Amino acid sequence: MSELIIKNGFVVDPLQGIKGDRMDIGVKDGKIVETGTLSNPKTIDAAGMTVMAGGVDVHSHVVGPKVNVGRLFRPEDKLFKSPLKSPTCSRMEMGFSVPSTFKTGYDYARMGYVFVNEAAMPPLHSPHVHEEIRDTPIIDNAAMPVFGNNWFTLEYLKNNEIENNAAYTAWLLRATRGFGIKVVNPGGSEAWGWGLNCVNIHDPVPYFDITPAEIVKGLIETNEHLGLPHSVHLHCNNLGNPGNYVDTLESLKLAEGYAPKNDFGRKQVMHITHLQFHSYGGDSWGNFESKAKDVMDYVNAHDNLTVDMGQVTLDETTTMTADGPFEHHLCSLNHLKWANVDVELETAAGVVPYIYSPKVKVCTIQWAVGLELALFSKDLMRTFITTDHPNAGPFTRYPRVITWLMSRAARDATMKTFKWLDKTIDATSIDGIDRELTLYEIAQMTRAGPAQALGISNTYGGLAPGMDADIAVYALNPENMPSDPAMIEKAFSRCAWLVKDGVVTVRDGEVVAEPAKRTVWVDVKVPENAQVQRDIYEHFLRHYSVKLDNYSLFEEHLHNPRVIEVDATE
Amino acid sequence: MPKKVENVGCPYCGVCCDDLVVTVSDDGKQIIEVENACAIGNQIFHHATGGERVKLPRLRQPDGTYKDISYDEAVDYAAKVLYNAKKPLIYGFGSTNCEGMAAAAKVAEKAGAVLDNCASICHGSSFLAIFDNGYPSCTLGETKNRADVVLYWGANPAHAHPRHMSRYSIFPRGFFTGKGQKSRKIIVIDPRHTDTAQVADIYLQVRQGHDYELFDAFRAVVRGHEIPEEVAGIKREQILEVANIMKKARFGTIFYGMGLCHSDGRNHNVDIAISLTRDLNDYTKWTIMAMRGHYNITGPGAVWSWQYGFPYCLDLTKKDIAHMNPGETSSVDLAMRDEVDAFINIGTDAGAHFPIEAVKHLRKHPWITIDPNICMASEISDLHIPVGIVGVEVPGIVYRMDNVPIQYRKVIDPPEGVISDEELFERIHKRLCELEAEGAAKAEIKAAPAGVRAEE
Amino acid sequence: MKTVILTLTNPPELMLEGQNITPDNVAGKKAAEIAALDVWEGKQKSALGTYFAVAGDGGATAAETKIILRGDCTRVKRIGQQMTAGEIVIEGNADMYIGGWMKGGKIHVKGNVDSFCGIGMEGGELVIDGNAGHHLGASPRGEWRGMQGGLIRVAGSVGNDTATFINGGTIVIGGDADIHVSTHGEGGTVIIKGNAKGRVGGQMVKGNIYVYGTIENPLPGFQMVGEVEQEVDGETATFTHYIGDLGERHPTAKGKTVYANLYTRN
Ligand code: SF4
Ligand SMILES: [Zn+2]
Ligand SMILES: [Zn+2]
């Protein structure tokens, strides 16, 4: 079968601790192999370039109902903002902040990414999610069903029935072909069913009489009881408000005392997503300020946590989250169009366009907060680059985020465009930080770290023999980095080469092949549980609007699956 | 032994009942019984195996009759029509699965066609309102479990969506609505005193075409402003009473129908209904939902949105970028303006639904109908291609009116040799690729443009 | 100023998209190069010269370029789209999107135009001697930032949905307007010298509307607050002043609520 050798590149692979050594990487039948085993490989000359594993995105909203609402209700996000179809791609590419599925796949590939974890799947809509996955070319996808406001979960955890909750969780992962436990504004989105919210972790959920804190702890216990590849993945309560870092620190503390239990090399018990939106001080928009330092001090000291940035990119974008009450709050601030979808027994979602303007003080402070999180981090294997796409900005800006992290000059140039520069500097620490991240650290944040946190680092995120042959080559010479930060952005926007599953997929920044993509899901074996079966039957009989047998994804709607098996029967 | 197929979805209206039980004859060819469906749903299944089905594509002959041809010939004909036209239009998708819609989009993009669905002459105005003002909505189970106030505006589910009221809105007992109808207030606003109005606690007979004014009045009242003594035929006291009920609801849903999106100002009626829903969320919880007609007419809006970012009226003629602007790229407007030169009618009956003037314009050019059955469109076509009936003979995903995907099943086999929409479009796509390759091979070098009179 | 004359000698079968017919695209080009500009009839991309006879070269810049269109351009869309400077004169009718997203310069249409003319306009002047269709000076679909600036003047009547989401600029209509004027407006001025059918200023936040004739169906969300004398489009008259849409949100400025203003001439 097909063989490749990627020759003479500077290899950066944090999973193996390789820090830019000049090495060759061998590829055979879609896997990485020792170069000695190759017989007649095609050669990719990577001399003077950086070789990394394909990128892994821990948190991005790319497929599913709310993403699609974002597409549908923003024709203006397409007008004069879509590129012309690339002659080397099979389909058109439409949209800027919420790209079409085709553009999503192509653009991730151009950036050298191969795996994207869809951050929130409403279980009732899983067939929709999988239809979009089918139409997202090249990249492998996983999708996390949301649990934090699910009635089954609330009922089991109220009574501290971890085993039952675990059995239900295993059932739902299978029913939706899901990947792990996502928690969005625990309790708050259920409260939103009545137009209410849970503003802190001790605020009880109406009727269900359980607090967000209890939900999060119960789900951590469930997750470790099952030994899932990924940990609980938490979007904290009270997102986006001044002073919310207090609530965030309380949420982080919920993980204290828990240790990871799994066979997948995962080291955390909780992943906290888009931390930027949760690291604010002050008590009004007037004295709004960064508390990134306080939050990262805590994260640095607790190695059972991982985080991602949720970096504001200063673009016009589309916010979308299962945090229904937050989106309503946002539309009352910016008065733009507002879509909302409450999903029976499970979750909610809202979508509102948003403009992060360099002329608005709050936006430029948010920009600084995100970067500070990364720049204050002592362990970049636990701190990942995201923009919570498309919430803080589109994923296509990752190269710019990387550039800001790697170059103080790039940060300064951006800050020069701020209308309220002095106030931004006063309210943040960004101006006092000289740290510039290295390519190794960027590789930690964009592939090795996320792969480890997701529990897939035996397959993705590294370049060890036996792993998938997903390899990105960037036109950057670590021994002679460009002095112009724009060149860094350019190199990461359009990789020189992307090999996906052993197939040359991108060349000189252009997609040249569209190899089959996969759906990655987690199948957990649990002991028979008659009570949970009964509960499921009852809720579907009385409260769902679809039949139980039509709810679970039909096999024919699952596309090119890669199943990760977990045995939790012991 | 006859076989029972359970949890079958109904391929008729947007209620998308998925609890049907269909009994199929021994040989798997006849439908014997359909349980749980309403009368219309029932009929759909029996109709499928009742009459004579067209089993082969039929091509119009010079003498005006139809002649049976093979699928290969039909695919070739369709591909050539699409390839040769300057601006072909592919319209319909009222009764197709999402797999078929995705395949059709692939064809439209390759052919450089305009791609549109029945929403264009139906709930399209809802899309325009959603573009401008958003869509605070929920799934139907939310209404069932929580709603204590339900408002039908310009909708008559008693006729158009027979099981809507019993499954989701008025009668069912949900989690927080254990008393069913007794735990709910039902309001109906409609110029006609419909059968739905019969079950209402409050009925407001709005003057035909003046819904916008009534919404405006509700909004002003909700904000505490004065309004005139009568608006759109409704007395101030009644407006105040209903506004008060809405504000005091724990959870409300506005279901609106064609009464709103087919009267004057269409999209703006929906738009201001959305504004009212937004306003009410400052006090309590309100949601709004379009009563979409066909069982999967929500589908193309979903599929084409993820593929192109637009739910309908997609002008793909540039082949490298999509453009949408209803009023220009909408099927009826295109036809009325005589802007298209080939027409594919799929899973609907443009022959019956389009204005006669539009049909006349379209008839000047090749017209292909893709439909399981004989309909007006198939009888005025140049080519009729039969396909399997989705939800009966072909499984697939459909989107219910609340955007919830429902996985439909296959109950019986299609007539022998009859293929699905999806397969048909995949084959047309393949043929188009071949034609394109041949065309590229024999393309000449372009001559210098004529008509130049340079002032040198 | 240099003049380019485009004469439609070979009309399209279906319609033509002429977004390249702007002073910006023509500037700096010889007639032969202008004739080679792309136009589209559906999927068929052709040279402008396939349909038009081209006489004259463009000026050095857009501002120094004038384009005159002759022949029946009833089926030619998008003339003057996104133009920033210079001048276009259309001697007869034209189709949709004339002056769409216009930023500067001037377009003068001596006949009628169809829908979507002047949509997304930011500046410049669009003058139409005949009637205009729907969505005159409106915002494109989904865009909440509608007309930002510039002037549109229509001597005849207009269709519905005029000035949706208007944010700035002025539209003067000599004749009547069909339903929906300045819906969702948040600025700008619309002057209707004839009658308005109804739904004038619905969901409007800010901005001004003047109606000289009658409003067949006024909205309940507008409330009379008094009489004012004002100079409008060069003449002074007394108007009855209404504020609204009271159903809509309104900002406050200096402690006072800002409403949209509707003036009807006494
Ligand atoms: S209500 Fe609609 S979907 Fe349900 S059975 Fe009747 S026709 Fe079919
Ligand atoms: Zn989130
Ligand atoms: Zn997110």
Domain range for C242 = 115-265
A243-247 LR contacts (CB < 8 Å, sep 24+): A243/A280, A243/A281, A243/A282, A243/A283, A244/A278, A244/A279, A244/A280, A245/A278, A245/A279, A245/A280, A245/A281, A245/A291, A245/A294, A245/A295, A247/A199, A247/A200, A247/A201, A247/A278
Q: Residue B456: how many CB atoms within 10 A of its CB?
A: 7
pLDDT in tens, C229-257: 999 999 999 999 999 999 999 999 999 99
pLDDT in tens, B259-300: 998 877 789 999 999 999 999 999 999 999 999 999 999 999
Query: Inter-chain contact B275–C53, Cβ cutoff 8 Å?
Result: no
* Residue B78 DSSP symbol: H
How much is the mean pLDDT over chain C? 98
Query: Inter-chain contact A75–C144, Cβ cutoff 8 Å?
Result: no
Tell me if chain A has a CB within 8 Å of the CB of C227: no
Rg (chain B; Cα; Å): 24
Is the model's pLDDT at B447 over the cut of 50? no
pLDDT in tens, A374-395: 999 999 999 999 999 999 999 9
Note the pTM of the prediction, 2 decimals. 0.97
From chain A, which residues contact C within 8 Å (Cβ)? 73-77, 79-80, 335-337
Ligand 1 nearest-atom number relative to CA B42: 5
Calculate what percentage of chain A has a pLDDT beyond 90: 99
Q: What is the mean pLDDT of residues B206-219?
A: 97
Q: Min CA distance, B202 vs chain C (Å)? A: 22
Domain total of chain C: 1
Which residues from C are below 8 Å from A77, CB to CB? Answer: 142
Name the pLDDT band for B455 (thresholds 50, 70, 90).
Answer: very low
pLDDT in tens, C88-121: 999 999 999 999 999 999 999 999 999 999 999 9
| pLDDT reported for residue B444 | 56
pLDDT in tens, B302-358: 999 999 999 999 999 999 999 999 999 999 999 999 999 999 999 999 999 999 999
Which residues from C are below 8 Å from A335, CB to CB? Answer: 249
Which residues from B are below 8 Å from C179, CB to CB? Answer: 264-265
Q: How far is the CA of A222 from the centre of ligand 3 (A)?
A: 22
Residue C238 domain-assigned (yes or no): yes
| pLDDT reported for residue C22 | 98
Calculate what percentage of chain B has a pLDDT beyond 90: 91
A1-5, A95-99, A102-106, C242-246: least confidently modelled range: A1-5
From the candidates A79, A82, A85, A337, which should be mutated to test the interface with C, based on the most C CB atoms within 10 A? A79
| pLDDT reported for residue A427 | 98
Pocket test for ligand 1, best of B34, B47, B163, B196 (most atoms within 8 A of CB): B163
Is the model's pLDDT at B446 over the cut of 70? no
How much is the mean pLDDT over chain B? 94
Q: C-alpha angle with apex A199: A195 to A204, nearest 5 degrees? A: 80
Nearest CB partner across the interface for C135, out of B271, B327, B337: B327
pLDDT in tens, A338-373: 999 999 999 999 999 999 999 999 999 999 999 999
SS3 A403: helix
Q: Whose CA is nearest to atom 4 of ligand 1?
A: B17
The domain over range A3-52+464-511 is classified in CATH as 1.10.287.3510: no
Around ion ligand 3, which residues have CB less than 5 A away? Answer: A 119, 388
Residue C53 domain-assigned (yes or no): no
Domain boundaries in chain B? 1-51+398-416, 53-119+296-387+420-442, 124-290
Which CATH architecture best describes the domain B53-119+296-387+420-442? 3-Layer(aba) Sandwich (3.40)
Which residues from A are below 8 Å from C143, CB to CB? Answer: 75-76, 79
Q: Min CA distance, C236 vs chain B (Å)? A: 31
- Burial, A438: exposed, middle or buried (Cβ in 10 Å; 0-12, 13-18, 19+)? middle
Name the pLDDT band for A254 (thresholds 50, 70, 90).
Answer: very high
Tell me if chain A has a CB within 8 Å of the CB of C43: no
- Burial, B65: exposed, middle or buried (Cβ in 10 Å; 0-12, 13-18, 19+)? exposed
* C-alpha dihedral, B217 to B220 to B222 to B227, nearest 10°: -60
| pLDDT reported for residue B416 | 93
Which residues from C are below 8 Å from A76, CB to CB? Answer: 140-144
Tell me if chain B has a CB within 8 Å of the CB of C20: no
Nearest ligand to the C-alpha of residue B14? 1
Tell me if chain B has a CB within 8 Å of the CB of C160: yes
Residue C45 domain-assigned (yes or no): no
Tell me if chain B has a CB within 8 Å of the CB of A140: no
Q: What is the mean pLDDT of residues A158-181?
A: 98
Closest to A307 measured CA to CA, from A260, A282, A349, A275: A275
Closest to B46 measured CA to CA, from B63, B58, B34: B34
| pLDDT reported for residue B1 | 84
Domain boundaries in chain A? 3-52+464-511, 143-454
| Residues B318-338: b if buried by 16+ CB within 10 A, e if exposed | bbebbbbbbbbbbbbbbbbbb
Name the pLDDT band for A1 (thresholds 50, 70, 90).
Answer: low
Closest chain A residue to the Cα of B311, Cα to Cα: A72
Is B15 in contact with B163 (CB distance < 8 Å)? yes
Q: Whose CA is nearest to atom 7 of ligand 1?
A: B41
Q: Residue A190: how many CB atoms within 10 A of its CB?
A: 30
Contacts for A554 with CB less than 8 Å, ≥ 6 apart: A127, B395, B407
Topology annotation, domain B124-290: Dimethylsulfoxide Reductase; domain 2 (3.40.228)
Q: What is the mean pLDDT of residues A538-567?
A: 98
Query: Inter-chain contact C43–B223, Cβ cutoff 8 Å?
Result: no
Q: How far is the CA of C266 from the centre of ligand 2 (A)?
A: 56
Residues with CB under 6 A from ligand 1: B 10, 12-13, 15-17, 37-38, 40-41, 161-163, 295
Token pair, residue A128, equals: 């929709």
Residue reference for tokens 């009023």: B327
pLDDT in tens, C22-81: 999 999 999 999 999 999 999 999 999 999 999 999 999 999 999 999 999 999 999 999
Q: Whose CA is nearest to atom 2 of ligand 1?
A: B13
Closest chain A residue to the Cα of B107, Cα to Cα: A91
Is the model's pLDDT at B191 over the cut of 50? yes
Q: How many residues does chain B have?
A: 456
Is A73 in contact with B131 (CB distance < 8 Å)? yes
Q: What is the mean pLDDT of residues B409-415?
A: 95
Q: How far is the CA of B100 from the centre of ligand 1 (A)?
A: 22
Nearest CB partner across the interface for B324, out of A75, A343, A352: A75
Is B309 in contact with A94 (CB distance < 8 Å)? yes
Name the pLDDT band for A449 (thresholds 50, 70, 90).
Answer: very high
Q: What are phi and psi of A52, to 5 degrees?
A: -130, 165
How much is the mean pLDDT over chain A? 98
Q: What are phi and psi of B239, to 5 degrees?
A: -65, -45
Q: What is the mean pLDDT of residues A275-304?
A: 98
Pocket test for ligand 1, best of B8, B17, B156, B294 (most atoms within 8 A of CB): B17
Is the model's pLDDT at B411 over the cut of 50? yes
Closest to B320 measured CA to CA, from A98, A509, C43: C43
Calculate what percentage of chain B has a pLDDT beyond 70: 97
Ligand 1 nearest-atom number relative to CA B162: 1
Nearest ligand to the C-alpha of residue A389? 3
